[in-house]
A and B are shown apart, each in its own frame.
Chain A
Amino acid sequence: MIKMMNSILDRARVIKAYRGFIIGSVKREFDAKYRNSLLGSVWSIITPLSTIVIYVVIFTNLMKARLVGVDNSFAYGIYICAGVLTWGMFSEVITRCQNVFLANANMLKKLSFPRVCLPVIVVSSSLVNLGIVLCLFLVFLVLSGSWPGWPLLGLFPLLFIQLLMSVSLGVALGVVNVFFRDVTQLTGVLLQFWFWFTPIVYPLTILPDFVRDLVLLNPMTPLVNGYQTIFVYGEWPVWSELNVPIAFSLILSIFCVKLYQAHGGEMVDEL
Chain B
Amino acid sequence: MGSIKVSGLGKAYKRYASPWARLREWLSPLKRTFHEKHWVLKDVNFEIGAGESVGIAGVNGAGKSTLLKLITGTSVATEGEVSVVGRVAALLELGMGFHPDFTGRQNAYMSGQLLGLSVDEISGLMPHIESFAEIGEYIDHPVRTYSSGMQVRLAFSVATALRPDILIIDEALSVGDAYFQHKSFARIREFREKGTTLLIVSHNRAAIQSICDRAILINNGSVEKSGEPELVMDYYHALMSEKQGKLIRQTTLSDGSVQTVSGSGEVGFRSVELLSEAGIPTERINVGELVSLRLEIDVLQAVPSLVVGFMVKDSFGQIIYGVNTDRLDRKLEKLDEGERVSVTYKFPANLGKGNFSISLALTRSDSHLDKTYEWRDRAIVFSVRNTKKEDFVGLAWFGVEADVSRDLAGQ
Among the 9-residue stretches B70-78, B231-239, B261-269, B376-384, the one with 4 or more Cβ atoms under 8 Å from chain A is B70-78
Beta-carbon contact of A268 and B106 below 8 Å: no
Interface size class of A (residues with CB under 8 A): 20 to 34
List of A residues within 8 angstroms of B331 by Cβ: none
Beta-carbon contact of B113 and A110 below 8 Å: no
Among the 9-residue stretches B49-57, B88-96, B245-253, the one with 4 or more Cβ atoms under 8 Å from chain A is B88-96
Beta-carbon contact of B96 and A179 below 8 Å: no
Instruction: Count residues of B near A (Cβ-Cβ below 8 Å).
Output: 33
Q: Mark B92-110, 1 if CB is under 8 A from A, else 0.
A: 1101111101100010011
List of A residues within 8 angstroms of B116 by Cβ: 17-18
Beta-carbon contact of B101 and A32 below 8 Å: yes
A120 to chain B, nearest CB (A): 13
Beta-carbon contact of A24 and B76 below 8 Å: no
CA distance A112 to B69 in the complex (A): 9
CB-nearest residue of chain A relative to B78? A265
A164 to chain B, nearest CB (A): 24
Beta-carbon contact of A112 and B97 below 8 Å: no
CB-nearest residue of chain A relative to B101? A32
Report if A32-B109 is in contact (Cβ < 8 Å); known contacts: A111-B97, A266-B14, A268-B74. no
The residue from A32, A112, A180 contacting B73, defined by CB atoms under 8 A apart: A112
> B118 contacts the other chain (Cβ, under 8 Å)?
yes
List of A residues within 8 angstroms of B22 by Cβ: 179-180
- A-B contacts, 9 of them at CB < 8 A, read A20-B113, A25-B110, A32-B101, A108-B74, A109-B97, A111-B74, A112-B88, A180-B22, A268-B69
CA distance A218 to B106 in the complex (A): 43
> B320 contacts the other chain (Cβ, under 8 Å)?
no
Within 8 A of B (CB), among A1-55: 17-18, 20-21, 24-25, 28, 31-32, 35
Beta-carbon contact of B101 and A35 below 8 Å: yes
CA distance A216 to B390 in the complex (A): 98
The residue from A31, A35, A111 contacting B114, defined by CB atoms under 8 A apart: A111
Beta-carbon contact of A28 and B102 below 8 Å: yes
Report if A20-B74 is in contact (Cβ < 8 Å); known contacts: A32-B101, A110-B95, A180-B23. no
Beta-carbon contact of B93 and A266 below 8 Å: no
The residue from B14, B74, B106 contacting A31, defined by CB atoms under 8 A apart: B106
List of B residues within 8 angstroms of A268 by Cβ: 69, 74-76
CB-nearest residue of chain A relative to B72? A112
Report if A113-B114 is in contact (Cβ < 8 Å); known contacts: A24-B109, A28-B102, A266-B14. yes
> A107 contacts the other chain (Cβ, under 8 Å)?
yes
Within 8 A of B (CB), among A73-109: 106-109
B372 to chain A, nearest CB (A): 37
B residues neighboring A (CB under 8 Å): 13-14, 19, 22-23, 26, 69, 72-76, 88, 90, 92-93, 95-99, 101-102, 106, 109-111, 113-114, 116-119
A residues neighboring B (CB under 8 Å): 17-18, 20-21, 24-25, 28, 31-32, 35, 106-113, 179-180, 263, 265-266, 268-269
CA distance A269 to B38 in the complex (A): 12
Q: Is the interface of A mostly helix, strand, loop or mixed?
A: helix
List of A residues within 8 angstroms of B73 by Cβ: 112
Beta-carbon contact of A180 and B19 below 8 Å: yes
Beta-carbon contact of A107 and B113 below 8 Å: no
The residue from A25, A110, A263, A269 contacting B93, defined by CB atoms under 8 A apart: A110
CA distance A32 to B100 in the complex (A): 11
B117 to chain A, nearest CB (A): 7
A53 to chain B, nearest CB (A): 31
B254 to chain A, nearest CB (A): 47
Beta-carbon contact of B114 and A269 below 8 Å: no
CA distance A180 to B341 in the complex (A): 65
Beta-carbon contact of A111 and B119 below 8 Å: no
Extra contacts besides A106-B99, A111-B97 (20): CB < 8 Å:
A17-B116, A20-B113, A20-B117, A20-B119, A21-B110, A24-B113, A28-B106, A28-B110, A31-B106, A32-B102, A35-B101, A112-B73, A112-B88, A179-B22, A180-B19, A180-B23, A263-B26, A265-B76, A268-B74, A268-B75
CA distance A111 to B73 in the complex (A): 8
CA distance A180 to B95 in the complex (A): 28
Among B69, B74, B111, B118, residue most surrounded by chain A Cβ atoms (within 10 Å): B74
Beta-carbon contact of A266 and B76 below 8 Å: yes
List of B residues within 8 angstroms of A180 by Cβ: 19, 22-23
